[in-house]
Amino acid sequence: MTNLNYAGIPDEYAGLENASIVLIPVPYDGTSTWQKGADRGPSAFLDASRNMELYDIETDSEIYHHGIHLAASITENSSPEAMVEAVHAATKKFIKKNKFVTLFGGEHSVSIGSIRAFNECFDNLTVLHIDAHADLRESYDGTKYNHACAVHEASQSTNLVQVGIRSMDVIEKTFMDEEKKAKMKA
């Protein structure tokens, strides 16, 4: 993947030193079990970004004026563990530079390292997980860094809020906060 500017914004808004926002592409598809192709997500996202309008109605602004830096892609794919560590290190590096960090692409397991970095840098972190699957397994296919485990660690160390869950393995129910679930139904 070539590192062109996000949305084709002018170079003056794309440099790291002047950007308040950093986008990190992670074209990873190492643990998908049904269909492959998630690794093509970042390229598709960047291609699509060049065809959108830059004015945001909700904020009545052109957000890119705050600077949006497109970081180098994290292409580590030697193992799920190595990918998670690479995502963690990159995310934490940009958080420590006081950047608003966003990752995109790849499969759900890319979330593990980024959530870990945010949790280490911010107190009382809340993670909003919108998905059809719980992704709460402690381990799957021999690793805790699998797409099916994407928010297990977050369920143990952050305030995890899950929305849209329609299916899961029965073991995942043991990691859900039943008290929180009861409050949501009330």
Runs of H (alpha helix) within 10-136: 41-49, 80-96, 110-121
Q: What is the pLDDT of residue 2?
A: 44
Which segments in the chain show pLDDT lower than 50?
1-3
Residue 185: the pLDDT is: 61
Predicted local confidence at residue 45, as pLDDT? 93
Give the dihedral sign, CA 153/159/165/170.
positive
Write down the H helix ranges in the chain.
Answer: 41-49, 80-96, 110-121, 152-157, 178-185
Residue pLDDT, tens place only, 103-114: 998 799 999 999
Can you give the pLDDT at residue 179?
Answer: 73
Residue pLDDT, tens place only, 10-49: 999 999 999 999 999 999 998 888 778 889 999 999 999 9
pLDDT at 23: 98
Please state, in angstroms and rounded to a whole number, the distance separating the CA atoms of residues 65 and 60.
12
DSSP 81: H
Q: How far is CA 107 from CA 22, 33, 89, 122, 177, in A?
A: 19, 10, 18, 24, 25
Q: At what angle do helices 80-96 and 110-121 cross, to 10 degrees?
A: 40
* Count of helices and strands (H, E) across the chain: 5, 5
Give yes or no for a contact between 9 and 67, defined as CB atoms under 8 angstroms apart: no
**Alpha-carbon distance 167 to 60, whole Å?**
39
